Amino acid sequence: MSVLYGRITAGVWATARAFGLLLSLALPGQAADRIVAYTGYLPPLSIDEQRKGIAVELMGLIAEAAGLEFDIRFAPWKRAQLLAQTTPGALVFTLARSKERQGKFEYIAPLIYTESAFVTIDQPLDSFDKAIKTGKLVGVHLGSWRSRMLKRAGITNFTEIPSAEQMGAMLETGRIDAWYTMSLRAGYMFRQLGYDPKRLVFGAPVTHGVQWLAANKSIDPHMRARLAKAVSKVWRDPRYWQIVDRYAG
C-alpha cells in the first residue's frame, strides 16, 4: 500500500510541476489571470504611474469586477498601440474606434464617452469650416484619431504634438492658435500647468468620441466576454462618476 501511495504521490507532484511549467510559459498577456494592459500618456484619462487618471482608475474597478489583475504599462501612445498589437493576449485603453484599428484589435467595451472641440484663448471656433476660414494653427495629439479627423475635414494648417503638456504650454504662449482636443483634457492640463483655465475659450463640440477597452487579436473569447461583463458592471457602479468628477473638477 505504501509503495502504491508513493507512486500516486509522485505522479501528483509530477503533474503539478508540469502544470506550473505550463503557467510559466503561458502567453505574456494572459498568464495566471494577470493581464498586461497598455495605455498612453493621455491626461486626464491616462496620466502616469503615480497620478493614474480616469481610465486607469476605471480599469481598477474592472479588475475588481472581473476578478483579475492588470499589469498596466504606460508608453507614448503610438508605441503603446504597437506593443498591444504585438503582445498576445494584451489589452489597450483608451482606444478610439476606426476602420484601420478594427483589423488590428478586438474591441471589448466602451470605457468613457468624450466631446472634442477647438480650444483657444480668444475667439471661439465652433466648426471645422471656421477653423479653415480663420487659418489658425491647430495643435493635435500625435498619432491620434483627431489628427485624422482634421485631415478628413480638409484642415491642413495643423501640427501634431507628442504630449498634452506641450500643447497646453504652446497654447498659453501663442505658439499654436487652437488646440483640438477633449474639452475635459484642456481644462485639466491648464490647471496642472499652473495656468488659469478661465482664459480658455471652448468652441462647440465638433466631434463626439468613444474611448474603448480593446485587446490583441489573440484574446481568448471567454476572457473577452468576462471583461465585457465587468465593464458593464462598472458603468452601473456609483464610483464611476465619482472618479470622472474628481478629475473634471
The tens digit of pLDDT for each residue in 91-114 reads 999 998 888 888 999 999 999 999
Mean pLDDT value of segment 185-189: 92
Give CATH 3.40.190.10 domain extents, the chain. Answer: 28-113+210-248, 115-208
For the cut 60, the answer to whether the pLDDT of residue 19 exceeds it is no
Q: Summarize pLDDT for 143-183 with one digit per residue, the tens.
A: 788 998 999 999 999 999 988 999 999 999 999 999 999 98
Set of cell numbers at residue 112: 468613457
Query: Would you say the C-alpha torsion 63, 69, 98, 162 has a positive or negative sign?
Result: positive
pLDDT at res. 228: 98
Res. 32 pLDDT band, cuts 50 70 90: very low
C-alpha cell at 94: 483608451
Give CA torsion, residues 222, 224, 230, 235, to 10 deg. Answer: -150
CA atoms within 13 A on the CB side of 119: 27
pTM exceeds 0.85 for this model: no
Comparing 247 with 119, the larger pLDDT belongs to 119
CATH of domain 115-208: 3.40.190.10
pLDDT, residue 30, reads 43
Q: Say which DSSP state 80 is in.
A: H
Shortest CA distance to 218 belongs to which of 87, 96, 33? 87
Classify domain 28-113+210-248 at the CATH superfamily level: Periplasmic binding protein-like II (3.40.190.10)
Arithmetic mean of pLDDT, 7-27: 40
Per-residue pLDDT at 11 exceeds 70: no
